C-alpha cells in the first residue's frame, strides 16, 4: 500500500519529527517489544493476538494482545475491546509468527464483556473478556494468581511481558514474530510517583528505561514462571511513552480480588465471573 516514495518521505522526515523531549537525537533507537528479543515458536501456546477479521495480512489486522484463561475465554484489556464488535473480531491462540497461518488456532468471538467499572469511566479497571465460538482444546490456559494475594508482586522481582507491539519509539515498527522482555516489578508507591491515576487496588507497575511494553502490546500478559508454572500477574494497560526513564508500564493486576469481584457489577460480567469460578 505505502509507495516507496511515501516510505522515503517517512524515513527522511523521521529525524526532525522525533519528540523534542528526547535529549540525544543520535542515540541508537531501540529495535527490540522495547528492549526485548524474539520468542521461540510454540513457547507460549496460550498467547493470543486479537485481530479484525478481513482480507489484510494478520500483521495489519492485529490490534492487541490477550491470553487464554479458559478453553473458550480470552483475557484482554478493556481499552482494546470497548469499541469493538464481536462479529468483526477473531483471535489466534498459540501463534508465534503472525503471518504463519499454520501456527496456532483461530477462533471467532461471540461475546465481549468489558469491565463495568471501565465502561463507567474508571480506566484503572482495564480488563475485558472474549467468549470464543469454540473451545481451544489441548492447550493449557495460563494460570491466574490466587485472588487477593501479592506474593508474585514483590518489588524488584523480574516478570516478563510479551507481544507484537511497537519495537521502536522513534519510527513505529510492528514485528511479525512475538517478542518478549524481562521487566522489574515496582512498588505501588513508586508507580504512584509517576501516575496520579494509578490505583494500587487494581494496578501493578513494571519496567525501566528501555525495558517496557508499547503500543500494540495492550491486552497482553505480564507473567512470571514459578517452578515450571506460568502465572499471569498483569494485563498491559498504559504508560507515558514507552521505555522512558521514570515512566514504567502500568498493568491491570490479575491477582486483585477487587478487579474480579467488581466484574459482577454488570450481568454479563457476573456470568463470566461464575463461568471462570473467580
Interacting residues toward ligand ARG by CB under 6 A: 165, 212-218, 236, 238-239, 242, 249
- What contacts 76, CB < 8 A, 6 or more positions away? 48, 50, 64, 65, 66, 67, 127, 128, 129, 130, 218, 219, 220, 235
Residue 178, SS3 per DSSP = coil
Closest of 22, 52, 17, 82 to residue 243, by C-alpha: 22
Give the bridge partners for 97, in sequence order. Answer: 177
Q: Which is nearer to ligand ARG, 145 or 165 (CB)?
A: 165
The answer to whether residue 30 is catalytic is: no
Report, in Å, the least distance between residue 264 CB and ligand ARG.
26
- Cβ atoms of residues 61 and 16 within 8 Å: no
CA distances from 71 to 45, 50, 65, 138, 140 (A): 12, 16, 17, 9, 8
Q: Which is nearer to ligand ARG, 35 or 216 (CB)?
A: 216
Report, in Å, the least distance between residue 169 CB and ligand ARG.
9
Q: How many CA atoms lie within 13 A of 145 on its CB side?
A: 24
Q: Of these residues, 30, 72, 79, 237, which one is catalytic?
A: 79
Report, in Å, the least distance between residue 225 CB and ligand ARG.
20
Q: Of these residues, 218, 253, 255, 266, which one is catalytic?
A: 218
Q: Which is nearer to ligand ARG, 77 or 113 (CB)?
A: 77
Q: Of these residues, 72, 126, 199, 212, which one is catalytic?
A: 126
The answer to whether residue 62 is catalytic is: no
Report, in Å, the least distance between residue 213 CB and ligand ARG.
4
Please tell me the distance from the alpha carbon of residue 118 to that of residue 242, in angstroms, as a whole number.
Answer: 23
Chain residue whose CB lies nearest ligand ARG: 239
The answer to whether residue 105 is catalytic is: no
Q: Which is nearer to ligand ARG, 44 or 238 (CB)?
A: 238
Residues assigned a catalytic role: 79, 126, 218
Amino acid at each position: 500500500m505505502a509507495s516507496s516514495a511515501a516510505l522515503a518521505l517517512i524515513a527522511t522526515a523521521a529525524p526532525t519529527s522525533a519528540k523534542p523531549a528526547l535529549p540525544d537525537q543520535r542515540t541508537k533507537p531501540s529495535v527490540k517489544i522495547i528492549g526485548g528479543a524474539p520468542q521461540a515458536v510454540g513457547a507460549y501456546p496460550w498467547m493470543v493476538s486479537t485481530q479484525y477479521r478481513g482480507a489484510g495480512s494478520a500483521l495489519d489486522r492485529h490490534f492487541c494482545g490477550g491470553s487464554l484463561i479458559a478453553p473458550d475465554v480470552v483475557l484482554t484489556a478493556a481499552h482494546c475491546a470497548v469499541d469493538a464488535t464481536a462479529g468483526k473480531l477473531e483471535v489466534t491462540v498459540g501463534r508465534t509468527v503472525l503471518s504463519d497461518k499454520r501456527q496456532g488456532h483461530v477462533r471467532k468471538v461471540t461475546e465481549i464483556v468489558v469491565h463495568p467499572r471501565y465502561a463507567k469511566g474508571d480506566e484503572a479497571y482495564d480488563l475485558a473478556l472474549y467468549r470464543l465460538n469454540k473451545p481451544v482444546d489441548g492447550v493449557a490456559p495460563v494460570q491466574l494468581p490466587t485472588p487477593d494475594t501479592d506474593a508474585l508482586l514483590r518489588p524488584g522481582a523480574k516478570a516478563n511481558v510479551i507481544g507484537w507491539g511497537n519495537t521502536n519509539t522513534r519510527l513505529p515498527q510492528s514485528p511479525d514474530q512475538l517478542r518478549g522482555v524481562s521487566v522489574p516489578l515496582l512498588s505501588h508507591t513508586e508507580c504512584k510517583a509517576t501516575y496520579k491515576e494509578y490505583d494500587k487496588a487494581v494496578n501493578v507497575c513494571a519496567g525501566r528505561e528501555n525495558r517496557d511494553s508499547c503500543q500494540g502490546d495492550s491486552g497482553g500478559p505480564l507473567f512470571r514462571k514459578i517452578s515450571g508454572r506460568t502465572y499471569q500477574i498483569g494485563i498491559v494497560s498504559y504508560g507515558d511513552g514507552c521505555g522512558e526513564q521514570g515512566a514504567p508500564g502500568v498493568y491491570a493486576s490479575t491477582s486483585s480480588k477487587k478487579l474480579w469481584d467488581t466484574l459482577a457489577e454488570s450481568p454479563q460480567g457476573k456470568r463470566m465471573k461464575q463461568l471462570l469460578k473467580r
